Amino acid sequence: MGRTSRKRSTLANRAIAASAALLLGGGGLVAANFYASAHEGWGGDENGPRTQSAGQSVSTIDCPEVVNSIKEIPDDQRLAVDRELATLDSQITTYYQRFADNKERVQSDRTFAQNQILSPLKNERQVVIQRIVSLIDRSAERPQGLEATAPCTLRGDDNDQNNDGDQNNNDQNDGQDDGQNNDGGQDQGQDGGDQNNDGGDGNNDNGDNGGNEDNGGQAGNGPVADDFVEIESIEPNVDDPQQQGDASDGTFTTDCGVNENGLFNSDNLIAAPGVSNGAHHMHDYVGNQANDAFASDDDLANGDTTCNNQGDKSTYYWPVLRVQNGQNEFDADQDGGGNDQNVGEIQTPSEVTMTFVGNPQSKVTAMPKFLRIITGDAKSFTNGDANANASWSCTGFEDRQLKDKYPICPEGSQVVRSFKFQSCWDGQNIDSANHRTHVDFAEEDGSCPNGFQAIPQLVQRIVYDVPPPVFEGDNASVFAVDSFPEQLHKPITDHGDFINVFDEDLMDEMVDCINEGRSCQ
């Protein structure tokens, strides 16, 4: 099968390695001894590290997710608060760059790292957090404890946070997930492969610490060889819930193409409205063509759509997949691309399937117009895997799903990304403070949590014809999703975004089709 990557730009013959060297001072991950426990990292205060455990390597900056500690954002302050939250992401990106550029100093002098990275980053975060507190205080109850989320740490790529139930890596993170998972573990049990990666994930502790320059990842910050596993070595692990008597077992498929139009940007209208480059990585878009950081609901309602059924003007977007093969893209020197350590050829999917399915226990109700849903977590590498539910597999092996590994597919098989979106809605809100708690995943048996009602579940399947990874030699080439720089292109950071802009008649048709057990498109 032929390659399906985008056509190269006029910069196509420029090597990624050169741009990566400019971006990261010629280096990749920082190999350094530092004092930390596996889950704490070091830093966080001016008194130095808390525990001693030499021999680990510093890989990234780990900052608590401030939004997870915010219970409510008043509507009249939401845009301003979201912009401040995006500023926090920009700060981390800036200091990650400083961290990468000064890897030798970080390795030899932890005082330098504290004084030049962690302390100034903490001070800048405090200023922004204080502005957030003041904004919310104008119209709602003043949030408490946000200042405790200002300190960040440097930590190693030990991957332990992906394998246990207590994923928040440092002391100041304790309790920060409460705002994100206050409905009893919203992301559990959605996809057998999301939680049962035995066999592929047991070897997490060694491969990443040697540095990307020796282990793949021409972006300079990942991925590395240990991020990949042969799909044939994974046991089948998908177990769908059984259908009950009142199940809604129909399907509704919408065909919106594979982004043949080449609509890309590094905005995030849901998480960072009004902020250019709010994602710090590039997104593919299908469906609505009016989507950028500044689009209003009216803009979306009046926008063009790539969907065959013109009644679907919804926006569907996800991080692009690139092959880091020594070739640059159009964004090699732009924000979201090379400026944010996302390099290589953007791959156009060979297939994108978007299907809305029902609930195994009950009928579904219509989604409200402009409902926003994010599935997965772009910061799962540092946040932990509580909200990491995107899956990876290969055609012919989709009963084997991976969450924190990229698949190495056998000859004739293609890479598959799968997203299952939340399928329970609180019945009131089209968004929430952390963009998660207004929707939830069903329980393992398919039932919605108390106070939530079943809605059609969006299931996306994205297929790519990409070469298997090669980590050494002149032909080194690896594929990886775009990510925030400090998330190191880890597969666990994959995520998808959806804004419902179905017209009322088509949404009603979808609901009827699913509830009546029909297959429609």
* Per-residue pLDDT in tens (0 to 9) along the chain, 521 residues: 333 343 333 333 333 333 333 333 333 333 333 333 333 455 555 443 332 233 457 889 999 999 999 999 999 999 999 999 999 999 999 999 999 999 888 878 889 999 999 999 999 999 999 999 999 999 999 999 999 999 999 987 654 444 333 333 333 333 333 333 334 334 433 343 343 444 344 333 333 333 334 434 889 899 999 999 999 999 999 988 778 878 999 999 999 999 999 999 999 999 999 999 999 999 999 999 999 999 999 999 999 999 999 999 999 999 999 999 989 999 999 999 999 999 999 999 999 999 999 999 999 999 999 999 999 999 999 999 999 999 999 999 999 999 999 999 999 999 999 999 999 999 999 999 999 999 999 998 899 999 999 999 999 999 999 999 998 888 889 999 999 999 999 999 999 999 999 999 999 999 999 999 999 99
Taking the alpha carbons at both ends of the chain, their separation in whole angstroms is 27
Backbone angles phi, psi at 425, to 5 degrees: -125, 145
Q: Given this model, what pLDDT does residue 157 score?
A: 65
- With 0-12 / 13-18 / 19 or more C-beta atoms within 10 angstroms meaning exposed / middle / buried, residue 253 is middle
CB 346 within 8 A of CB 6: yes
Give the H/E segment covering residue 512: helix 504-515
DSSP 418-467: EEE---EE-SS-S--TTSSTTEE---TTSPPPTT-EE-PEEEEEEEE--P
Q: What is the pLDDT of residue 473?
A: 83
Helix axes 119-137, 78-101, angle to 10 degrees: 180
Kindly report the backbone phi and psi dihedral angles of residue 345, in degrees, each rounded to the nearest multiple of 5, phi listed first: -80, 125
Short-list 462, 400, 454, CA closest to 422: 454
Close Cβ partners of 326 (under 8 Å, ≥ 6 residues apart) = 15, 16, 17, 218, 476, 477
CA distance 324 to 35: 33
315: closest CA among 357, 349, 270? Answer: 270
Closest listed residue to residue 269, CA positions, set 321, 337, 317:
317
pTM: 0.81
How many angstroms separate the CA atoms of 367 and 373, rounded?
11
